[in-house]
Amino acid sequence: MAFLKQLRVGKFVKVNIISLTCCAGCVSSFLNAGEALLEVLSGDFEIVYSPTFVDLKEIPKVDLAIVEGGVRTEDDEKFVREVRAKSRTLVALGICATHGGITSLGNILSVKKLLEKEYGLLDLSKLPELKDLMYPIGNFVDVDYYVPGCPPMPFLIVHTLKSIVGGRTPVRHQSVVCTECNRKIIPAKLKRLYGVYGKEADPETCLVSQGFVCLGSLTRDGCGAPCPRSGFTCFGCRGPADALMYRSRDMYAFFVKVISKRTSIPAEKVKEELYRNPFIFHTFIFSKLERFKARERVI
Amino acid sequence: MSDKRVITISPTTRIEGHGKVTILLDEFGNVTDAHFYATEIRGFEYFLRGMDAERLPFIVSRICGVCSTAHVIASVKAIENTYKTEITETARKLRELLLMGQIISNHSIIFFFLTLPDFWFTPEEDPSKRNIFQIMQEKPDIGKKAIALRSFGAHILRILGKREVHIVSTIPGGLISPLKEREREGLLKEAESACAITKEAVALGKELFDRNWEDFRKAGDYKTYYMALTKGDALEFHNGKIRVINPEGENFSELAAQDYMKYLEEKTYEWTYAKFAYLKALGWPKGIVQVGPTARMNVNRQITTEVADQELKEFKRKFGSPAHATLLFDYARLIDLMYSCERAKELLQDGSMTRRDTRVEVKPRGGRGIGVVEAPRGTLAHEYVLTRNGQLKSMKLIIPTQVNNAAINLNVKDAAMEFIHHGEIKPGLLNRIEMVIRAYDPCIKCATRQTNERLRVEIRNSKGKLLKIL
């Protein structure tokens, strides 16, 4: 990506931090970077526009725009298009921006039905315009880097930003969370699957071989596996790993096979138990991806 | 009505979330009304119906990335309340420590990054300069301290919660893993320097506050009821009773967390789809109540830790009890911060924190349950109805910003009337209005979890004819 080498124009790299529809957790995560944050802020960055920190109300032209959150309203779309037009490089930060995030679970019903359910007598023509669904920003604008995660870990954000500012391509994480997890895969003989709180987890064995539904084997690495290491199942907040981003790969069939192999529960029974758990694979990626073709841009 | 008579500030800056203010003027250019409203929506209550209870805490955490820990703890408490589970003393203390971590990381950012620029610069200052980055260039030390304090909060959350934002360790029945001795010692060391930094921050805050007080006191003061958790008259965040005091400072009522939802009612205003929570017993608008830092100071008579208690006494001596001025939220937030650091230190000194009995088994059952905690912005309540199979039937959340919504709007109007006369508007004055909003630190991310939180502003003339919808 040759365009990166020209990113720095003056002494500082001018940066925008933009929030669309989201929980603000990604910027919070960035603020948790501690010393590294101080280094970034005092060394390379000049944050020129960010409703959270700076009083400026007009969007200026910048070198780097960091966008958290997805597109839920017409305003969001207008905003993200304007930001794209005014920035040289754009980073989608967090799973809402890259894949739609938790809010896209609301896509199970149309907006009209959603509002009708809450208000019987709503005059929709008078409401601020909502999009029909929650979309990731990649559906509307060209994104240079996708950094999925809910939220991405502070070190991952800092690494990505530093690399971009330094004119390098950030290290890509293409594998699965299991590669960063220290648990040992020991095939077991179990009768059924367990919920997260179903029983106490053994600290050393793989959570799947203990009968927990841990999505580590499907999910992109780069987080350091904090959840499965501590005994809480991975729930897929980094989105699917590279190999699973192809539509031809059946995530579900693959996962059933993994569980069945590690627990000796017949595949049919695994399917039956998984069926009872709504949204298990799509907690964070329920949204419709239209232009998410650039696999090599996912960090 | 022409467009000239409507002033819009959008986006409101240095708050969490997307907000907007509209001020309506009459033909003489004087303020007739002012509204503060959110410009985004999501819809959690609706799409979570049918979700497995065990997956709820980590999903509702995503309502707000800024106060996610408070949401997780309230959610887990609500589920435990339904399951009739009693957690161990160790788990209770660890959760309190987590909550302290939440308050520290949240309040440190709000004080240093969001409100300090208001105290530091004059209102006439160039808006592009009025931010923490400018202060950091002038005094790099302040930036370092802000980050160190934030990091202490983040470390508590990472070590005990396993992640800094959206913690995973807290589950119905307790905590997934105990605190290690090595971790306790490391955190204790950090706690001592955090206490020292906070003392400096309190001194700095007080100095800047005293300097500007004559100005600040005009920015709005609305006498309302106040509500907060309390434990034997002392400040409390995790467990305790809910106490409400009247505008004169007398106890109005005290209730158990389980009765919270019955005690509050929500109202829809004619110009908005947003709901306003108020005290049911008093009706609207008499029952407008405020939560948050000032409310915590007004409701409680003492604080169990030493320095924070002195600060509370000084606060009460200076501003009376209850204190009403809106901008005192910023002052009170510093006392919160002092308490959290001291309390975290106190908890970490306790050797029994590293006991291994952090978890009890839960027996899932259907029914209704409520969980209440003091979140950074005030009393936060989650209520769930679960089916026998452990799936969510319905949920109701009352979020601090929703309770404060009425007071925020009234205060914005007061401030606007104070600062705008005969159509004369200066940018510095508008920033002052934003300061009032910022004092409440309204978390729009929280308030907009509902499908119905989007506000609509209508402009009507004196005969009630609809002229324009914003």
What span, in angstroms and rounded, lies between the C-alpha atoms of A46 and A29? 19
Would you say residue B262 lies in a domain? no
Helix spans in chain A (H) = 25-31, 35-43, 74-85, 95-99, 111-118, 154-165, 226-230, 251-263, 267-275
pLDDT at position B374 is 92
Q: Using a CB-CB distance cutoff of 8 angstroms, which residues of chain B are in contact with residue A19?
A: 17-18
Q: Using a CB-CB distance cutoff of 8 angstroms, which residues of chain A are in contact with residue B363?
A: none
Mutation target to probe the A interface, by most A beta carbons within 10 A, among B9, B21, B22, B47 is B47
Residues B184 and B136 in one domain: yes
The percent of residues above 90 in pLDDT, for chain A, comes to 18
Q: Using a CB-CB distance cutoff of 8 angstroms, which residues of chain A are in contact with residue B386?
A: none
Location of structure tokens 């069945």: A260
Q: Radius of gyration (Cα) for chain B, nearest Å?
A: 22
Q: Which of A90-94, A268-272, B281-285 is predicted with the least confidence, judged by mean pLDDT?
A: B281-285
Mutation target to probe the A interface, by most A beta carbons within 10 A, among B35, B42, B85 is B42
Location of structure tokens 């300061």: B435
Residues B19-56 pLDDT 10s: 667 777 777 767 777 766 654 556 677 778 888 888 88
User: Between chains, do B12 and A25 touch, taking CB under 8 Å as contact?
Assistant: no
User: Between chains, do B128 and A54 touch, taking CB under 8 Å as contact?
Assistant: yes
Residues B290 and B419 in one domain: no
Residues B156 and B191 in one domain: yes
CA angle B42, B47, B49 (to 5 degrees): 145
Distance (Å) from the alpha carbon of B113 to chain A's nearest alpha carbon = 7
In terms of average pLDDT, the best of A194-208, A234-248, B122-136, B149-163 is B149-163
pLDDT tops 80 at residue A7: no
Which stretch of DSSP H or E encloses residue B154? helix B140-161
Q: Using a CB-CB distance cutoff of 8 angstroms, which residues of chain A are in contact with residue B158?
A: 226
Residues B316 and B352 in one domain: no
Residues B35 and B53 in one domain: no
Residues A28-68 pLDDT 10s: 888 888 888 877 777 777 888 777 677 666 788 888 899 99
Strand partners, B253: B244
pLDDT band at B346 (very low <50, low <70, confident <90, very high): very high
pLDDT band at B199 (very low <50, low <70, confident <90, very high): very high
pLDDT tops 90 at residue B402: no
End of a domain among B344, B379, B398? B398
Nearest CB to B154 within list A32, A51, A53: A32
User: Between chains, do B66 and A28 touch, taking CB under 8 Å as contact?
Assistant: yes
Residue B330 token pair: 């910023």
pLDDT tops 70 at residue B423: no
Q: What region, left, alpha or beta, does residue A5 occupy, with left being phi > 0 and alpha being psi -120 to 50 degrees?
A: alpha
pLDDT band at A180 (very low <50, low <70, confident <90, very high): very high
Q: Greater confidence, B10 or A129?
A: A129
Q: Give yes or no for a contact between B295 and B222, defined as CB atoms under 8 angstroms apart.
A: no
Would you say residue B264 lies in a domain? no
Q: Give yes or no for a contact between B445 and B65, defined as CB atoms under 8 angstroms apart.
A: yes
Distances (CA, A) of B82 to B59, B125, B366, B384: 18, 53, 7, 8
Residues B197 and B338 in one domain: yes
Nearest CB to B16 within list A24, A29, A226: A24
Q: φ and ψ at B432, to 5 degrees?
A: -65, -40
pLDDT tops 70 at residue A116: no
Q: Number of residue pairs across A and B with CB atoms under 8 Å?
A: 200
Q: Using a CB-CB distance cutoff of 8 angstroms, which residues of chain B are in contact with residue A118?
A: 46, 450-452
Strand partners, A135: A71
What span, in angstroms and rounded, lies between the C-alpha atoms of A193 and B361? 17
Would you say residue B266 lies in a domain? no
pLDDT band at B9 (very low <50, low <70, confident <90, very high): low
* Mean of pLDDT over chain B: 81
Give the count of domains, chain B. Answer: 4
Q: Using a CB-CB distance cutoff of 8 angstroms, which residues of chain B are in contact with residue A52?
A: 13-16, 113-114
Distance (Å) from the alpha carbon of A28 to chain B's nearest alpha carbon = 6
pLDDT band at B369 (very low <50, low <70, confident <90, very high): very high
Distance (Å) from the alpha carbon of B20 to chain A's nearest alpha carbon = 11
Residues B205 and B333 in one domain: yes
Pairing of strands B275-279, B458-460: unpaired
Q: Using a CB-CB distance cutoff of 8 angstroms, which residues of chain B are in contact with residue A215?
A: none
pLDDT band at B11 (very low <50, low <70, confident <90, very high): low
Q: Using a CB-CB distance cutoff of 8 angstroms, which residues of chain B are in contact with residue A200?
A: 359
Nearest CB to B132 within list A32, A53, A105: A53
Q: Give yes or no for a contact between B84 and B365, defined as CB atoms under 8 angstroms apart.
A: yes
Residues B318-341 pLDDT 10s: 888 888 888 888 889 999 999 999
pLDDT tops 70 at residue B466: no
Residues B118 and B187 in one domain: yes
User: Between chains, do B151 and A57 touch, taking CB under 8 Å as contact?
Assistant: no
CB-based burial, A226-248: b 16+ in 10 Å, e otherwise: bbbbbbbbbbbbbbbbeebbeee
Residues B124 and B194 in one domain: yes
Residue type, A239: G
What span, in angstroms and rounded, lies between the C-alpha atoms of A290 and B224? 50
Q: φ and ψ at B97, to 5 degrees?
A: -65, -40
**Chain B residue with the nearest C-alpha to that of A126:** B469
Q: Give yes or no for a contact between A176 and A117, defined as CB atoms under 8 angstroms apart.
A: no
Distances (CA, A) of B405 to B201, B221, B441: 28, 15, 11
ipTM: 0.88
pLDDT tops 60 at residue B453: no
User: Between chains, do A277 and B52 touch, taking CB under 8 Å as contact?
Assistant: yes
SS3 B470: coil
What span, in angstroms and rounded, lies between the C-alpha atoms of B145 and A78? 38
What span, in angstroms and rounded, lies between the C-alpha atoms of A129 and B41? 11
Residue type, B18: H
User: Between chains, do A196 and B46 touch, taking CB under 8 Å as contact?
Assistant: no
Nearest CB to B131 within list A24, A55, A277: A55
pLDDT tops 80 at residue A134: yes
SS3 A200: coil
Residues B373-391 pLDDT 10s: 999 888 999 999 999 888 8
pLDDT band at B368 (very low <50, low <70, confident <90, very high): very high
Q: Which CATH number fits domain A2-171: 3.40.50.620, 3.40.50.700, 1.20.120.1730, 3.40.50.720?
A: 3.40.50.700
**Chain A residue with the nearest C-alpha to that of B118:** A55
Residue B463's domain spans which residues? 1-40+408-470
Residues B96 and B209 in one domain: yes
Location of structure tokens 């009247």: B246
Q: Greater confidence, B368 or B417?
A: B368
Q: Greater confidence, B368 or A24?
A: B368
Residue A169 token pair: 């391509």
**Which residue spans of chain A are classified as CATH 3.40.50.700?**
2-171
* Mean of pLDDT over chain A: 81
Nearest CB to A28 within list B18, B65, B114: B65
Q: Is the dihedral of CA B56, B60, B65, B71 positive or negative?
A: negative
Strand partners, B325: B221
User: Between chains, do B48 and A105 touch, taking CB under 8 Å as contact?
Assistant: yes
Q: Using a CB-CB distance cutoff of 8 angstroms, which residues of chain A are in contact with residue B70?
A: none
Question: Residue B182: CB partners within 8 Å, gap ≥ 6?
Answer: none
pLDDT at position B304 is 92
Q: Give yes or no for a contact between B140 and A126, defined as CB atoms under 8 angstroms apart.
A: no
Mutation target to probe the A interface, by most A beta carbons within 10 A, among B52, B55, B60, B62 is B62
Does the pTM surpass 0.90? The reply is no
Q: Using a CB-CB distance cutoff of 8 angstroms, which residues of chain A are in contact with residue B375?
A: none
Q: Greater confidence, B19 or B179?
A: B179
Q: Give yes or no for a contact between B436 and B412, defined as CB atoms under 8 angstroms apart.
A: yes
Location of structure tokens 């800047």: B208
Q: Using a CB-CB distance cutoff of 8 angstroms, which residues of chain B are in contact with residue A150?
A: 62, 166
User: Between chains, do A126 and B113 touch, taking CB under 8 Å as contact?
Assistant: no
Q: What is the mean pLDDT of residues B253-265?
A: 88
User: Between chains, do A23 and B65 touch, taking CB under 8 Å as contact?
Assistant: yes
Q: Which of A39-53, A219-233, B273-287 is predicted with the least confidence, judged by mean pLDDT?
A: A39-53
Location of structure tokens 């059946």: A250
Q: Which of B361, B363, B369, B362 is nearest to B386 (CA)?
A: B369
Residues B424-438 pLDDT 10s: 665 556 666 777 777
SS3 A219: strand
Residues B99 and B207 in one domain: yes
User: Between chains, do A31 and B431 touch, taking CB under 8 Å as contact?
Assistant: no
Residues B24 and B70 in one domain: no
Q: Using a CB-CB distance cutoff of 8 angstroms, which residues of chain A are in contact with residue B47?
A: 105-106, 108-109
Residues B285-299 pLDDT 10s: 788 899 999 999 999
What span, in angstroms and rounded, lies between the C-alpha atoms of A77 and A50? 17
